[in-house]
Structure 1
Amino acid sequence: MAKVGRIKLGLQGLEVSAQGLGCMGMSGFYRPLKPTSEMVSLIHHAIDSGVTFLDTSDMYGPYTNEILLGKALKGGVGEKVELATKFGVMYVDGQIQVRGDPAYVRAACESSLKRLEVDCIDLYYQHRIDNRVPIEVTIGELKKLVEEGKIKYIGLSEASASTIRRAHAIHPITAVQLEWSLWSRDVEQEIVPTCRELGIGIVAYSPLGRGFFSSGPKLIENLENGDIRKFLPRFQAENLEQNKTIFEGVNEMAKRKGCTPSQLALAWVHHQGNDVVPIPGTTKIENFNQNSGALSVKLTPEEMAELELFASADAVKGDRYYPGYAYTWNKSDTPPLSSWKAV
């Protein structure tokens, strides 16, 4: 298998593999969980294949995914990768809480460094935006961590266009992570153009629609108890009937192209531009190899238009997350800096 190429992510100097590896499913949310030894082997296989951009977060597990990456990257392996992790989402009494205050930012970074067993994090994202704390305050603390050599580059995840602009004015933002796929296209209206105007790289998570473009509607039939996808609106029966038409269209074109539907869906994300890096996740080496094959799928402008015809922004039925799950991108903005009073 040919090695995966490299691209520049943002304008600050970060170079990553053209496709990354989302590590979340190795430690939580999806079921069943696999043995640590298998996941370490998968990570090593990915690195050997040229996929060196690894994505994790302190809330995956929580904490266990970072510990897994720390184990996998021992013995000099970590020198070969671009390691991204995140802070800002925590569980309190079983409920999700978002935090972006300076003390928390610093404490979270120190803890991630220990779990990952590294001296510096390549790309450190604010996982979700704390609407109680001015973004300037959060980024101000991240800027200090850059100056101290604890992180190299700053990223945001699921931020509004206004928040991205305000953050970038305090310290250059290298990458914005967002959900982008053939059935999650709302970011194309404001977020993607804002990133491109400012020279910020784009990292697309869930580029396969959480596995939907790998298996289609039958995916839901095989999910085990505890798999978060069983509860997501787009996988519910009342929405799945309509959403399966998107998969059917992708599947039909994939047959004509001689590739799998997942490779076609992933190739569509790759064709969005050389500033976009998708980070499909998997727990199986065979699925990883298939995902890497998407880099060889070439799409003409006519084929892109055909895909977007049956996968338009309003074609999908159902929200990305279930009601009350405060985990989607913030359309509202953070308070003005003048309102902040440090505790």
Structure 2
Amino acid sequence: MFLLNPFYPNLKIPYATATLWVAPYILLGVYLLMYSFFKETNPFLKRNRFYTNLVFIPPILFGLMTNFILRSLGVEDQWRYNTWIIVFSFVIFLVSIIRHGFLGIQLSFQRQQLTHKMQTMTSGTAMLNHALKNDLGKIKLFSDKIKRFAVDCSQQELTEDIQVILNAQQHIYSLLNRIQEQIKERTLYLDMINLIEILERCLRTLGPFLTEIRVVRDYGSSALLLCDEDQIEEVFYNILSNALEAMSYRGKLTIRVLESKKNVVVEIKDTGVGISKENLPRIFDPFFTTKGDSSRNFGLGLSYCYNVIRMHRGSIEILSKENQGTTVFIKLPK
């Protein structure tokens, strides 16, 4: 540009010359943005690429027209309208960064709220467990004492009644342990592992429930990453178990593994009953469950999964419609 059109002493940009290389450069960039959108198969990543294109492509093309093409044709004042297209892009940017995320950044008040709920619940439940276990210990101590007295006095009915109390005490104690185990903040023990091996191990464990399930595997990479093997295995076991339950142990289960330069994405899709629109926003809430047997399901499985993925600085997203199945996307940094 400088050699063909020396700026000194006349500081005037030769737009006709600039357009010859600026236009192909910008059009190629726009093509690559659009190509990446149409090529993307992950619905959540595709949505992010859509908003990225919506923010960038209109002002880029508008700027190319007003700043270069029209100026090279002698029309000088159209660049003043760039303000409106930038305002449009800024509005789209604000909407996308709050609702869906933009270029890997997301202002998600709901997630912050959920994290706060988990932290509050963890500390609150720990204090409650401590208090209850102290009282349960007293109940067991004095029940054992009364039981020994009843046995010594050959009071069969009293012995049986005290045993009912002891059984109930042990049941409550076991429930408290199960709840505490699922909600406590654990330390991460990181190691380089193969995510596909973990998925296959989970499937082998769930083997007896897969007799009427068609499992489709699409492992596009070796999926090596640094993570806590035991906790990540527990996450995938939980999600796969949920998928099988939702399908009543018959249907199609699809597992895909995608890999980028920095992340590994696992997609688990079932053909089950799905999740209603009303329940979908609450699925990660502690103690929220749609399963009937509340004595076995505390509604902590997905809360635990969310917490583990958050500690790994990853993300978990769920796409579901009632009677149309559920898809879970887990993204983990390598």
Answer with 1 or 2: which has the greater Rg: 2
Relative CO higher for 1 or 2, CA cutoff 8 Å, sep ≥ 6? Answer: 1
Query: Structure 1 or 2: larger helix share?
Result: 2
- Fold match, TM over 0.5? no
Q: TM-score, normalised by structure 1?
A: 0.26
